[in-house]
Amino acid sequence: MATNELCTRLTEAHSKSLLNNHDTFLFDCDGVLWNFPEIFPGAVELLNYLTEQGKELFFVTNNSTKTQDDYAKRFNEIGYKAKPEQIICTAWLTAQHLKSINFKGRCYVLGMQSMVHELGREGFEICGGIGPDPLASDATAVKTDKLNLDSNVDCVISALDLHISYIKILKAATYLNRPNVLFLATNDDASLPQSDEVVMPGAGTILASVATASCRTPTILGKPHAPMFDAIRLAFPEVDPKRTVMIGDRVETDIAFGNRQGATTLLVFSGATSETYLDSLKQGVEQQTKERDLLPSYCVKDVGQFLNFLKSN
């Protein structure tokens, strides 16, 4: 597809074509459906409308701090009856990936309780990393003989960890110094969605520290990487990328993810990517300085406008 055929402004005709020619719709959540606790106008109505039209909906998120059940509860509270299996979150994804490779062993996990829940549900053992593991406030050095390192770690998983510390990075890197230890990461997002001036470091900042210290390259599971779509196809074999629409707000994750899997992509301007940035990105692609995968098939103001196009006579 030529560059001038990408980034097409969505119209009523385009919208109805997307509806008629696709069976599956994948949604990112933050910046697309909500900036929680604010639910974007038309978001819930769009989900219900697509479901009424017989479409299959999934919610693909790099957020590793919530479980499938957490997200399903949130959707039900705002007026959409979601089933847990519709939620493709990276805590669940990590467990499914380990299951798919027939992993047998113990995991050191930099992450939150959601990781404990999803990994435990599939029978995987976590041997450390969850919760605070700080140095004493008056410490001036690390006493390595007091670290209580585990001799039986088979996998290190790097996720978003609000309790990250020097000691936890040290332990993760030390385990990864053992050549047979598997290295997984839920995602490599640099920052979290935020509506004010505060910069919220994402899971990618933790991953960068561990990868740098260990000199190891992880398998990254979340968007824009292939394992997330592989897990969807494994659990739902009927999903056909050519009849799938990926709707997101961030070109580097959502749109690149959809494009690389052969889906049609729809960018909304209600979140991370602005119209100005998209225009500059398109110029960069034309000048061959930016990746073509970052350009969406279509773009639209927000999900509310998409809904209006779908329902217009």
Check residue 283 and give its pLDDT. 87
DSSP lists the bridge partners of residue 290 as none
Active-site residues, by number, are 28, 30
- Please write the tens of the pLDDT for every residue from 115-127: 999 999 999 999 9
Check residue 191 and give its pLDDT. 86
Among 133, 126, 131, 170, CA closest to 152: 126
Check residue 167 and give its pLDDT. 96
The contacts of residue 149 (CB under 8 Å, 6+ apart) are 171, 174, 175
Q: How far apart are the first and last CA of the chain?
A: 30
Q: What is the side-by-side strand order in the sheet with 182-185?
A: 125-128, 106-110, 155-158, 182-185, 219-220
Check residue 54 and give its pLDDT. 97
pTM exceeding 0.75: yes
Distance (Å, whole) CA 90 – CA 199: 22
Check residue 4 and give its pLDDT. 64
Check residue 3 and give its pLDDT. 63
Helix (H), strand (E) at residue 127: strand 125-128
Residue listed under structure tokens 């993760």: 172
| Cβ atoms within 10 Å, residue 123 | 10
The segments of the chain whose pLDDT lies below 70 read: 1-4, 289
Q: Which amino acid is at 130?
A: I
For the chain, the residue count is 313
The contacts of residue 109 (CB under 8 Å, 6+ apart) are 115, 116, 119, 126, 128, 129, 130, 156, 157, 159
Distance (Å, whole) CA 222 – CA 226: 8
